[in-house]
Amino acid sequence: MYLFKYILKRLGLMLMTFSIILTMCFVLVKLLPDTPPEQFGKDMEIILKRREMLGYGKPIMVQYMRFLKYAIRGEFGLSEVLYSGSRNVWDVFVEKLPFTVALNIYSIILSIPIGLGLGILAAIYKNKWLDHIISTGVMIFVSIPSFIFGFLIQYLLCFRWGLFEPTMDATQGAFSWTAFVTCIPAILCLSFGTIAGFARYTRAELCEVLTSDYLLLARTKGLTRNQATVRHAMRNAMVPIFPMILGEFISIMSGSLIIEQMFTIPGVGALYVNSVQASPPDYNFFMLLSAFYMLIGLTAGIVIDISYGIIDPRIRMGAR
């Protein structure tokens, strides 16, 4: 019951934060000068007329109410710049989301076992040469931005050795085999940083657990080192690690702006960059995607906090 109340409270807070930011964002966008771009084959007067019918030019708060009313039904307006008014923003978004999700799911599936494995190895062989090698690698891969690896992978694997296509083949659908094979370089790029992050975190947590008193007790009562590590240390170390994995899973949808642009993956991140870089910016896309990113970020935070409470009932993040 307590947990239920706690979740409800967190959800309420999240909703409040979300609506405040969304309002701010909407108002700021509406304050910008917004002249409709020329659309090929369409009369400017028609465009203006349609905009007027959509409520442009009314007070911002009236427009905002209208925006909310339609947003709930999944209608965010037409893409006026990128698709010249021919596509619904929401449709394009739904079309692009699978690519981002696919890419990131592959990356996470690759990262979790490798990252955790390296972290465990480093913790068990703490201060031995294996640990030093892993820690140095982790340091390098955590620090260097992923797009630097992107250049390296693209140059070496794609151009020099010709192992992979330099760009993704998206014609067969997001979860097809061709798409998978052609986005391997991108998956690698995304994974390096995540693997290093997991490894570092796992090592730190496991090191702390391995020196704790209850592990000593476990050894004293006769468990072997392996038994003690797997049954006692790992489980306790997973308490902070598991929420991290969970958070990672939620934020896979937000994608990576740079990697998607670099390997021409038709995902959400690339869409965001394109909508912002267009002149004038495609504000309908911008609003939708900004709201989407906010929601993802907030949800990830809340899921992490709640999962702490479920895994270890002693912890109540954000409660007093």
Looking at beta carbons only, is 103 or 298 nearer to other proteins? 298
Of 191, 194, 229, 261, the residue at the interface with other proteins (CB under 8 A) is 261
Of 297, 303, 311, 316, the residue at the interface with other proteins (CB under 8 A) is 297
Of 151, 175, 216, 230, the residue at the interface with other proteins (CB under 8 A) is 151
Q: Does 6 bind other proteins (CB under 8 A)?
A: no
What are the distances in angstroms from CA 127 to CA 29, 131, 215, 224, 230? 53, 6, 19, 21, 20
In angstroms, the CA 19 to CA 193 distance is 32
Backbone angles phi, psi at 88, to 5 degrees: -80, 135
The DSSP result for 202-227, as a single string, is: HHHHHHHHHTSHHHHHHHHTT--HHH
Q: Does 224 bind other proteins (CB under 8 A)?
A: no
Backbone angles phi, psi at 78, to 5 degrees: -95, 150
Q: How far is the CB of 258 from other proteins (least distance, A)?
A: 6
DSSP letter, residue 230:
I
Q: Does 159 bind other proteins (CB under 8 A)?
A: yes
Q: Does 154 bind other proteins (CB under 8 A)?
A: yes
CB 68 within 8 A of CB 15: no
Per-residue contact string for residues 16-45; x = within reach of other proteins by CB under 8 A: -xx-xx--xx--xx-xx-------------
Q: Of residues 83-142, which lie at the interface with other proteins (CB under 8 A)?
A: 139-140, 142
In angstroms, the CA 255 to CA 48 distance is 35
Looking at beta carbons only, is 88 or 299 nearer to other proteins? 299
Going through the chain in order, the beta strands assigned E by DSSP cover none
Q: How far is the CB of 299 from other proteins (least distance, A)?
A: 11
Looking at beta carbons only, is 22 or 112 nearer to other proteins? 22
Which of 36, 33, 31 is CA-nearest to residue 61? 31
Residues of this chain that bind other proteins (CB under 8 A)? 17-18, 20-21, 24-25, 28-29, 31-32, 139-140, 142-145, 147-148, 151-152, 154-155, 159, 257-258, 261-262, 272-273, 276-277, 281, 286, 290, 293-294, 297-298, 301
